[in-house]
Structure 1
Amino acid sequence: MANGITVMVEMFAGLALILILALSMAMFGCGQDDKAQAITPVSMSTETIEPETTPTIVIEPVVDQPIVEIEEPQPVSFEVAESAYNDRNYAEAVRLFAVYTEENEGNAWGHYMYGLAAKKSGDLYLAELSFNRALELDPNHVKSILNLSRVLIDDGRPQEALDQLDRALDLDPQSSVAFRLQGRAMHNLGWFDEALTAYREAIVIDTADAWSINNLALVHLEQEQYEEALTALSRTIELRDDIALFFNNLGIALENTGHVRQAQEAYTTAIELDAAYDKASVNLARVERVDQATDVIPADFEDLAKVFIEEIRSWNEEALAAEDADLSEFDQVVESESESDSTKSFELYEF
């Protein structure tokens, strides 16, 4: 019995030893070189771990950039710049006169033309600067004064324009343009009587000044003096039959004196001369719907123009009479002074 138990114990001991060896092999495993290898722990997470990547650096090839050379402005002659102005290429004229005046800073005429080109291109600020610069170089440059006054009128500064025009008339008392611009400035200020006087002065000096006659008529139209406007405008279109504005104004005078069909013809002529003349188109559309009275006698533009010419003669006579009165008064002053003090009369005469 005891021997049987001993045998069983030994059996169990052997089995236990075999089991221990088997477990050891399972835990540590055997490699080809009989060295034990550690078991790599296995993560239980389901997240996939991406391997770290090194950013790729792309080196762009160096391309030689072309070197842009800025050309020096080429010298510009006055004739070339003036030619652009005469061709009505005002933007180009501004560019050319900018170069010209930089090269010829002391040339007043160059700055004057620069101002004209700037005004025509719509740059009143540059025009004013240019005319002022011309006058700094030549204070007696009447054309610069006149065109500076135009800029001031267009810029809504008629009072400043009048100051300049007084200066122009001191230098050239017979400038019809100065009186015409004076009339414009006064008209803009609402001084209608003074404007009419200024326009008459301009017309007496230059009886063919169609623009002064038109401007005079415009004051009459605004004052609802349509008969006076009609006589003036009849003379205007006799002098210049190529200005759309003149025919539009004539149409207004005709329409308001009952000459509806002739007004229609005048508006039509204005549109034929300037297809983009919107005011004339509006006026034409209105007058086409108006009936004319049957007893209206057509206006005779030739006869009306003659009436206006006679008016000019009367203004001229009035002006001469006023001058004679001034001279007569001056002669009396000189005579009285000469009787008492010959030295004073000489000073007055020199003055």
Structure 2
Amino acid sequence: MGSKVQQGIDAMRRGEMDLAFRLFNEAIEENPQDPLAYINLGNLLMSSNDMEKAIVFFERAIELDDSAGAAFYSAGTAFYKLDKYEEASTLFKGAIDRKLDDGDSHFMLGMCLYQLGKLGYALVHLQRAVELNEKDLDARFQYGLCLAQVHQIDEAMKQFQKVLEQAPEHTDALFNLGVAYSVKEENELALAAFSRAVEIQPDHLLAGYGKKNMMERLQK
């Protein structure tokens, strides 16, 4: 059967959330010094969108084991979902410092820093996220957006193009590629990118506006 924590994790995977909740609570009652039970109960609460209560359990896990990178990462995620980016960034840094030095941690830290307007620092971590997991389209796309924000247009375009190599119908990558072409005054390529985005997603308002604007520019 395994431990009650493992049984709870298995129940979560099966979608049996009430059973998982009971098992994690029993695990805490039986061994209140086990940080894993608190982390998993916090993750369950977070999956139910109860961020404030989840944070209480993550913080308790950190009190019990300051080396628990997973607790720092999960707490950071909860704070991020509450739009508390400063607190979240500190926790993601803590996760990385505690050997959770993976693509997800760098991506989330990069996103916090991006939201805080610290674009240079965000760029470092988003680039690292892509290096650690080249197949992570979200990380690559956000890295491209950040590059565009700091006016590294050619580098941003490379990232959007790589996203499209993996996901040809990624309309936001097409739209942003169109914007980049527009900035470079490569109007026909911009129109093609906007048009393709609208073809895939007719209600993509920004791409629709970009297409209209490019058509008007080319007619002048």
Q: Same fold (TM over 0.5)?
A: yes
CA contact (8 A) 1:230 1:254 kept: no
The residue identity in structure 1 corresponding to 2:175 is G
Match of 1:142 in 2: 69
Amino acid at match of 1:83: R
- Provide closer, same or farther for how the CA distance between residues 234 and 116 of structure 1 changes in structure 2, counting only shifts above 3 A: farther
In structure 2, the residue matched to 1:281 is 204
Does the CA contact (< 8 Å) of 2:95 and 2:101 recur in 1?
Answer: no
CA shift in 2, pair 1:113/1:213, >3 Å:
same
Determine which structure has greater relative contact order: mean sequence separation of CA pairs < 8 Å that are 6+ residues apart, divided by chain length: 2
Shift of 1:189: 1.4
Give, in whole Å, the separation in 1 of the partners of 2:48 and 2:103: 25
- In 1, Cα distance between equivalents of 2:57 and 2:70: 12
8 Å CA contact 2:126, 2:139 repeated in 1: yes
2:140 pairs, out of 197, 203, 213, with 213
Q: Given the superposition, is the C-alpha separation of residues 173 and 116 from structure 1 closer, same or farther in structure 2, using an over 3 Å criterion? A: closer
Contact 1:199 1:213 survives alignment (8 Å): yes
Change (3 A) 1:82 1:133: farther
Cα deviation per residue 1:312-342 (whole Å; 9 max; x = unaligned)? Answer: xxxxxxxxxxxxxxxxxxxxxxxxxxxxxxx
Structure 1 stretch displaced more, 247-256 or 193-202: 247-256
Q: Is 2:27 aligned against 1:104?
A: yes
In structure 1, the partner of 2:191 is: 260
For 1:292 and 1:221, the matched residues in 2 are separated by: 24
Query: How large is the Cα RMSD of the aligned pairs?
Result: 2.9
2:171 maps to what in 1?
247
TM-score by length of 1: 0.50
Where is the helix percentage greater, Structure 1 or Structure 2? 2
Which 4+ runs in 1 deviate beyond 6 A? Answer: none
Q: Take 2:60 and 2:198, find their aligned partners in 1: how far apart are those partners?
A: 43
CA-CA distance at 1:293 after TM superposition: 6.7
After superposition, the Cα gap between the structure-2 partners of 1:224 and 1:122, relative to the gap in structure 1 and judged at 3 Å, is: farther
Structure 2: distance between partners of 1:81 and 1:174: 26
Unaligned regions of 5+ residues in structure 2, if any? Answer: 1-5, 182-186
Deviation of residue 192 (structure 1)?
A: 0.8
Deviations 1:200-231 (A, max 9, x none): 22223333332221111121333454433221
CA distance in 1, matches of 2:110, 2:217: 36
State the alpha-carbon separation in 1 of the partners of residues 164 and 54 from structure 2.
31
Deviates more, 1:142-151 or 1:118-127: 118-127
Distance in 2, matches of 1:182 and 1:283, equals: 28
| Structure 1 pair 96–224 and aligned structure 2 pair: CA distance change class (3 A) | farther
Q: Which amino acid aligns with 1:238?
A: E
Q: Percent identity?
A: 16
CA distance 1:225–1:173, change in 2 (3 Å): same
Aligned residue-pair number: 200
**Distance verdict in 2 for CA 1:149–1:267, change over 3 Å:** farther
For 1:289, what is the secondary structure of its paired residue? helix
- C-alpha distance in 2 between matches for 1:237 and 1:122: 32
Cα distance change, pair 205–104 in 1 and its aligned pair in 2 (3 A) = same
CA 1:236 to 1:263, structure 2 compared with 1: closer, same or farther past 3 Å?
A: same
Aligned mate of 2:98, from 144, 166, 171: 171
In the TM superposition, residue 103 of structure 1 has moved relative to its aligned partner by 1.0
254 and 171 in structure 1: CA distance in 2 versus 1, 3 angstrom threshold: same
Aligned amino acid, residue 281 of structure 1: H
Q: 1:204 aligns with which of 131, 134, 139?
A: 131
How far off is 1:256 after superposition?
A: 4.0
User: Are residue 190 (structure 1) and residue 113 (structure 2) matched?
Assistant: no
